[in-house]
């Protein structure tokens, strides 16, 4: 007898004979159905349309489906063992197992059962999983279903220029590696949410995000010359009149011009700068390597840093400056100034800048408490201090109260320990270190070069906090 025949007689035929029992057949159907569905997920992923950041999708692809699959596989031998024991006890276990024969009704019967059961399971599990995953890929699920932990990022996302870009675009993307990485991260987050151990606030780590090449640069061309850009900022003071001033600057955005020359803010930095930070939020940058001509690099080290330069190097990309491209958190001053500039908080109300700021900067136990206290705070103020304003401009007072509450709710999340300034914005240098993490005049190379701190390298200040810049009225700038 050949080895093959022996194998067939000893294992394959008994398997089919004894396998024809309910438990094994259900096991087989479960295993094959889940295998189909998993294969479907993998295909979708390889084709690049299924990438998902969703923490819960990990539950399905990493736990649920393989769980069903393994359960199915385990049920098959269990069924066989039970069947064998039963037949042995009845003394009807054949000494020679019947050959597999498609003319044999018993075998056809078994096969039919497996095929039909597999098909039904496939449809049920497949549709359910597909629908679940499709839903879970939507920003509203990422942001809203996982309510408490994601709330600050979700709210900030909704009023950003990228509110129509799916979370998955920036946080996961396609490709098997990304997929697995995101699934593992998702599982960790899921555990955090289940056991309520997630950090408050959730801290962003740029190295967890996809590189800008795969995200931002898919929509924004990196090598494009933008030239200079005029910026006008409106601010209000704390006096009774809420005196308005303007700041005008011309930012040297630059870029890469048609002769491939790099200039300004969007120029050199994107030419493979590497830096080392001493904190995970990259707020304290201790050293930068900048490429120069002929493949040379210049290393600039902070003079505040006494030790050796050690740590993970990060290649600078869009997100090192635009870390708040999507999750925009304002300072209290900027938020109030902006609302006053667009008149949702009327500058006609005496001291509204000062009072409003004080109210939104106070500490409250929750957003709900804040909403009540801010509203009553502003109304009480005008009722008691400016009864004429209260009597004649009630609508403006109520509108201001409403806007202050909105501004608060967009930026402060007591449950997540997120308050004004929790999340730094790396653009600029007036509220957070930002550009001055490197351009502080304190990062120097061995041969004595310093990363520039010259105001004019980045912008020309045309007016700083002027009530009525002449230039602005000449330009008729709105």
Sites for ligand HEC among residues 400-429 (CB under 6 A): 423, 427-429
Site for ligand HEC in 76-135 (CB under 6 A): none
| Region from 114-122, 174-182, 251-259, 303-311 binding ligand HEC, contact rule CB under 6 A | 251-259
For residue 201, say if its preceding peptide bond is cis, omega within 30 degrees of 0. Answer: yes
Q: How far is the CB of 430 from ligand HEC (least distance, A)?
A: 4
**Residue of 37, 438, 462, 463 that binds ligand HEC (CB under 6 A):** 438
Q: Could you tell me how many residues of this chain bind ligand HEC (CB under 6 A)? A: 79
Does position 212 interact with ligand HEC (CB under 6 A)? The reply is yes
Closest Cα partner for 230 from 467, 460, 474?
Answer: 460
Half-sphere exposure of 178 (CA within 13 A, CB side): 23
Contact flags string 363-402 toward ligand HEC, x per CB under 6 A: ----------------------------------------
- Residue span binding ligand HEC (CB under 6 A) among the ranges 15-23, 55-63, 105-113, 226-234: 226-234
Q: Which is nearer to ligand HEC, 271 or 348 (CB)?
A: 271
List 236's β-bridge partners, or say none.
244
CB of 115 to ligand HEC, least distance (A): 42
The yes or no reply on residue 437 touching ligand HEC (CB under 6 A) is: yes
In angstroms, the CA 269 to CA 256 distance is 11
Positions 299 through 358 that interact with ligand HEC (CB under 6 A): 300, 316-323, 325-327
CB of 226 to ligand HEC, least distance (A): 5
Query: Based on CB atoms, which residue is closest to ligand HEC, 278 or 298?
Result: 298
234, 366, 392, 452: residue in contact with ligand HEC (rule CB under 6 A): 452
Do residues 149 and 62 lie in contact, with contact meaning Cβ atoms separated by under 8 Å? no
Quote the CA–CA distance of 423 and 204 in Å, as a whole number: 9
The residue whose two tokens read 């555990």 is 191
Question: Rounded CA gap, 342 and 380, in Å?
Answer: 24
Nearest distance from residue 160's CB to ligand HEC, in Å? 8
Judged by beta carbon, residue 213 or residue 470, the one nearer ligand HEC is 213
> Of 270 and 371, which has the nearer Cβ to ligand HEC?
270
Taking each helix axis from N to C end, the angle separating 332-341 and 352-361, rounded to the nearest 10 degrees, works out to 140
Per rule CB under 6 A, is residue 457 in the interface with ligand HEC? yes
Among 125, 158, 136, 130, smallest CA distance to 55 is for 136
* Residue 336: closest CA among 426, 393, 411, 387: 411
Residue 138 in the binding site for ligand HEC (CB under 6 A):
no
Among 8, 9, 233, 354, binds ligand HEC (CB under 6 A): 233
343, 372, 376, 430: which one contacts ligand HEC (CB under 6 A)?
430
Q: Which of residues 255-294 bind ligand HEC (CB under 6 A)?
A: 264-266, 268-270, 275, 285, 288, 290
- Subset of residues 145 to 184 that bind ligand HEC, contact rule: CB under 6 A: 150, 153-154, 157, 161-162, 165, 167, 169-171
Strands 244-256 and 459-466: antiparallel
The region of 8-16, 124-132, 405-413, 456-464 touching ligand HEC under the rule CB under 6 A is 456-464
Shortest distance in whole angstroms from residue 200 CB to ligand HEC: 12
Minimum CB distance to ligand HEC smaller for 398 or for 466: 466
Pairing of the two strands 443-444 and 285-291: unpaired
Closest residue by Cα to residue 282 from 210, 205, 170: 205
* CA 278/CA 123 separation, integer angstroms: 53
Q: Quick one: 26 or 463, whose CB is closer to ligand HEC?
A: 463
Q: How far apart are the C-alpha atoms of 9 and 98, rounded to whole Å? A: 9
User: To which residue do tokens 């000494």 refer?
Assistant: 95
Angle at 122 between CA 116 and CA 124, to 5 degrees: 105
Q: Does 210 bind ligand HEC (CB under 6 A)?
A: no
Burial class (CB in 10 A: 0-12, 13-18, 19+), 402: middle
Is residue 47 exposed (0-12), middle (13-18) or buried (19+ Cβ within 10 Å)?
Answer: exposed
């Amino acid at each position: 007898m050949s080895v093959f025949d022996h194998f067939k007689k000893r294992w394959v035929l008994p398997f089919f004979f004894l396998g024809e029992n309910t438990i094994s057949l259900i096991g087989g159907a479960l295993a094959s159905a889940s295998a189909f569905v998993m294969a479907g997920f993998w295909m979708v992923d390889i084709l690049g349309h299924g990438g998902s950041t969703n923490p819960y999708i990990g539950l399905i692809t990493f736990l649920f489906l393989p769980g069903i699959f393994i359960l199915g596989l385990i049920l098959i031998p269990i069924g066989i063992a039970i069947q064998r024991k039963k037949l042995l006890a009845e003394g009807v276990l054949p000494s020679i197992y019947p050959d597999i024969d498609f003319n044999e009704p018993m075998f056809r019967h078994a096969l039919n059962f497996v095929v039909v059961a597999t098909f039904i399971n496939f449809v049920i599990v497949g549709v359910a999983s597909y629908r679940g995953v499709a839903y879970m890929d939507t920003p509203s699920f990422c942001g809203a279903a996982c309510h408490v932990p994601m709330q600050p990022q979700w709210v900030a996302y909704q009023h950003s220029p990228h509110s129509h870009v799916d979370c998955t675009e920036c946080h996961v993307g396609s490709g098997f590696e990304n997929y697995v990485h995101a699934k593992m991260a998702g599982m960790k987050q899921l555990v955090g949410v289940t056991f309520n151990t997630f950090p408050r606030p959730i801290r962003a780590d740029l190295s967890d995000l996809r590189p800008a090449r795969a995200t931002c640069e898919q929509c924004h061309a990196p090598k494009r010359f933008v030239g200079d850009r005029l910026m006008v900022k409106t601010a209000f003071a704390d006096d009774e009149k809420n005196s308005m001033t303007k700041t005008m600057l011309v930012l040297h955005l630059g870029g890469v011009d048609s002769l491939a020359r790099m200039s300004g803010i969007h120029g050199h930095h994107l030419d493979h700068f590497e830096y080392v930070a001493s904190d995970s939020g990259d707020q304290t940058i201790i050293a930068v390597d900048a490429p120069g001509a002929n493949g040379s690099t210049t290393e600039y080290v902070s003079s505040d840093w006494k030790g050796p330069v050690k740590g993970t190097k990060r290649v600078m990309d869009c997100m090192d400056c635009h870390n708040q491209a999507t999750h925009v958190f304002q300072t209290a001053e900027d938020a109030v100034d902006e609302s006053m500039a667009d008149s949702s908080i009327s500058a006609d109300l005496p001291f509204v800048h000062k009072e409003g700021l004080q109210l939104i900067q106070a500490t409250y136990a929750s957003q709900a408490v804040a909403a009540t206290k801010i509203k009553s705070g502003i109304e009480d103020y005008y009722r008691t201090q400016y009864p004429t304003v209260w009597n004649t401009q009630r609508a403006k007072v109520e509108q201001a109260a409403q806007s202050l509450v909105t501004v608060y709710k967009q930026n402060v999340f007591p449950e997540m320990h997120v308050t004004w300034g929790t999340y730094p914005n790396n653009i600029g240098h007036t509220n957070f270190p930002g550009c001055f993490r490197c351009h502080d005049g304190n990062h120097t190379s061995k041969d004595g070069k310093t990363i520039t701190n010259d105001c004019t390298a980045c912008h020309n200040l045309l007016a700083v906090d002027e009530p009525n810049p002449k230039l602005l009225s000449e330009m008729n700038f709105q």
